[in-house]
Amino acid sequence: MSESRPIGVFDSGIGGLTVVKALRDLLPNENISYLGDTARVPYGPKSPETVQRYAIELAEMLMKQDAKALVVACNTVSSVALPALTEKFPVPVIGVIEPGARAALAASRNRHIGVIGTRATIRSGAYEKALRDADGGVRVSSRACPLLVPLIEEGLLNDEVTDQMILRYLEPLIADDIDTLVLGCTHYPLLTSSITRVLKRQIMVVDSAQNCARAVEEMLDQKSLRAAPLNNGELQVALTDAADNFLNVARDALQLKIGEVQLRPLT
C-alpha cells in the first residue's frame, strides 16, 4: 500500500474545507483530494436514504483516485451513512461525530452539552447517542439551525443577519445552562468568531473539524498509512457544480491555498 496515496475528503459543499484546513495544519505532508457536492447542497433537509446514496456516490468518486482513507467531513452524512460507507469500502472511514463528542465530554464541567447542527443531524440523535454511550450521566440539549449553512455558503460570515440567526438559535441552549457547545456541522467553524461574539459568556466551543483531524492522525499512525515525512502534501479540490462564493470563502475565512478547482459533474 503506497503511503503517498491521498486522503479523500468529502462534504455537501464548502463546509468540509474546515476539516481540510485542520488536516493541512496538522498533517502538511499528506496529499488530500477534496470533493464538495455543491450541486446538491444542503444535505440537512434531505432524507437519510437520499443522504446515504449521495455519500456512496461521492466516496466512489474519491476511491477512483485511489484514496487510502475516506474522511466524511459532514455531520449529516456521519450521522446517517457512516455504517454503510464503512461496510462498502475497503479503506478506513472517519466521521466527525465521535471525535467531536469525545472532545465535548473532555471540555464540559457541568456535564450539560449543547449541540447545534442541520435538521438531519439533530433528528438522527447521533451526537446524543455518542455522548451518552461515553457518559450515561451527560445532559444534552440539541438545536437544529437550518439557515446557517445557506448563510455560510453565501459568504455572510460577519453579517448582522447571521448574528441575529445565531442568537435566535442559541438563546434556548444558553437558557438551558449548557457550558459546552458542539458545532455539529463542519460549516459552523466558519462562524466561530460570530458565535463567540453572540454567546457573550464562558461557554466552551468545540470545533468538530479540529477533532476530526486529530482522529485522522491517530488512524494513519495505527494503520501505518502516514505519508513520507519529507513529502510536500498537495491539495486537489473538486466540486460537482460551480459555486460563486466558494473560493472567496475558502481564501478569506480559512486562509487555505487552493489551486485550480476541478469540476466533476454528476452522471
pLDDT digits (tens, 9 = 90+) for 196-241: 988 877 899 998 899 999 999 999 999 999 999 888 999 999 999 9
pLDDT band at 150 (very low <50, low <70, confident <90, very high): confident
CATH number of the domain located at residue range(s) 97-208 in this protein: 3.40.50.1860
Domains 7-95+210-263 and 97-208 share a fold: yes
**pTM (2 d.p.):** 0.91
**Domain extent listing, the chain:** 7-95+210-263, 97-208
CATH number of the domain located at residue range(s) 7-95+210-263 in this protein: 3.40.50.1860
Interval 96-142: pLDDT, tens: 999 999 999 999 999 999 999 989 899 999 999 999 999 999 999 99
> Would you state the pLDDT for residue 13?
85
> Would you state the pLDDT for residue 244?
67
HSE-CB at 174 with a 13 A cutoff on CA atoms is 14
Interval 41-51: pLDDT, tens: 888 889 999 99
Do 3 and 226 contact (CB within 8 A), yes or no?
yes
Of the candidates 90, 65, 92, the residue with the CA atom closest to the CA atom of residue 220: 92
Give the position of cell 468518486: 61
HSE-CB at 190 with a 13 A cutoff on CA atoms is 35
Residues noted as catalytic: 74, 185
CB within 8 Å of 162: residues ≥ 6 apart: 148, 151, 156, 191, 194
> Would you state the pLDDT for residue 36?
94
